[in-house]
Structure 1
């Protein structure tokens, strides 16, 4: 989640998006906001085809990390994994930069995702299994992926550092600090092998996977959060809403997902037992990102969506705090 002030500035009159559009071929009048969360995403068309422009404030994402992300995506696409591909600009670049009075932005353009978005409640058993299989295939390719040293994504230690930096600015969050200490001790105790650790997607949820009914598979987008972590973390992050749903029995959905996953990649029993702790990492990491998003967010003359989004994020942090006191 980006800082709310950054979100307001970046969306104002679509000026930043329009600046990027000068660098890629497009049809006039087709540029529209698609979503804004950890970055800005716009849809546009060119020669009858749909594309996505994604950009972020330069202070929030480095050029090196974007290039590392694109390297992994190109590797997956070349391996025939169903994913989007980056599109060259008019100057032949995959990554472009624009500068405004507020600072610099880094942007990329991707091909359109094929298929339709499904909610968990819409998925039948075979689709849940295909979802797990899709993640298993991604991990299978990740196990043999060897990027150049300068194209390596961040890892879970950087995630812990991000959490620590956010909590240092919010030192009153005592239970979150204790949660961080417990997570750090636990994560450093885990073994890393090529079968259970590697580059993961980290956001393999419904808004980033698109069901292709004709092929009975999912088309995958948005590797912006990719990091080196245990593969079990990716499973938990994908199933976070399912695992955390206390109002209904989700055991069958989890079973179907894992059946698809383990048809491609083995999953150690101990890693399954660690699911609740990986979920705690996910929640604390999200908590730290939301705290960062809310910093310096007392703005005037805000757009209509601003107050509702800010309130929603504040309620999310309140709910997350309740979990930090749960026993380990």
Structure 2
């Protein structure tokens, strides 16, 4: 792949052309859907292991995580898309259409989704709280090199509230702890958010009411994952961890419980 020509570097990793001299290639699938393939130079760095952060006191890495997202949000305030290309709005997310992926979905799940969406629709929309966000910056979508974060996997980018990006970082940090039902989950979540926002605020200001909306976006992420589970996972191929993951998310959505309580 390295023998293929490279696109002229602007910043970050190189983007390779295909042998057809295209930046992307479309690969048809058997069910009439398709995959879009692109090839980038691999980032250097290592994954963030949150256990190491907690056990070794490396909270500066969480602050760097927050700083990186804050920088993205600050930059997006001045971004104007071209007339040809614009990322979708948050409510165009197909995974919110649970009825398309779940046969006879429980009415309480649909009511929960509708209630969460209704509350989100009541939030203020302005350049201080809303813009183009990554929508999936969990620790699997960046690498750390010399204390700095290299972000990738931008395919979920959408116009959304900045608080959603913050909630997603917290959500996936706590998701792994669900497997063990640890007693200190709330304390860890609040400490994570404290350090995350400390870094975030070095790059971007965010109103208090936006921070207070984070629990609402934690609920939205559960609803989206509930749809993902039903759309993408084959019950006949699941291992024990997969089944436990499905059980946790499904039970939270059915009971309308939040993944973790925060002290905001």
Q: Say if 2:227 is the partner of 1:288.
A: yes
Residue 211 to residue 310, structure 1, CA distance change in 2 (3 Å)? closer
Aligned match for 1:134, one of 68, 79, 93? 68
Shift of 1:286: 1.2
The equivalent residue for 1:240 is 171
Q: CA RMSD in A?
A: 2.7
Q: Give the TM-score, by structure 1 length.
A: 0.66
The equivalent residue for 1:153 is 87
1:242 and 1:313 map into 2 onto residues whose CA distance is 14
Aligned match for 2:52, one of 115, 122, 135? 122
Shift of 1:96: 0.6
Residue 167 to residue 98, structure 1, CA distance change in 2 (3 Å)? closer
Q: Is the 8 A contact 2:135 2:165 kept in 1?
A: yes
The equivalent residue for 2:143 is 210
Shift of 1:184: 2.0
Runs of 4+ with deviation above 6 angstroms: none
The equivalent residue for 1:183 is 116
Aligned match for 2:26, one of 97, 111, 117? 97
Deviations along 1:6-62, one digit per CA (max 9) or x if unpaired, are xxxxxxxxxxxxxxxxxxxx3xxxxxxxxxxxxxxxxxxx36xxxxxxxxxxxxxxx
Residue 86 to residue 241, structure 1, CA distance change in 2 (3 Å)? same
1:233 and 1:298 map into 2 onto residues whose CA distance is 29
Of Structure 1 and Structure 2, which has the larger fraction of its residues in strand? 1
Gaps of at least 5 residues in structure 1 are 1-25, 27-45, 48-73, 300-305
Report the 3-state secondary structure (helix = DSSP H, G, I; strand = E; otherwise coil) of the residue aligned with 1:92: coil
Q: Is the 8 A contact 1:196 1:231 kept in 2?
A: yes
Residue 177 to residue 92, structure 1, CA distance change in 2 (3 Å)? same
Q: Give the TM-score, by structure 2 length.
A: 0.80
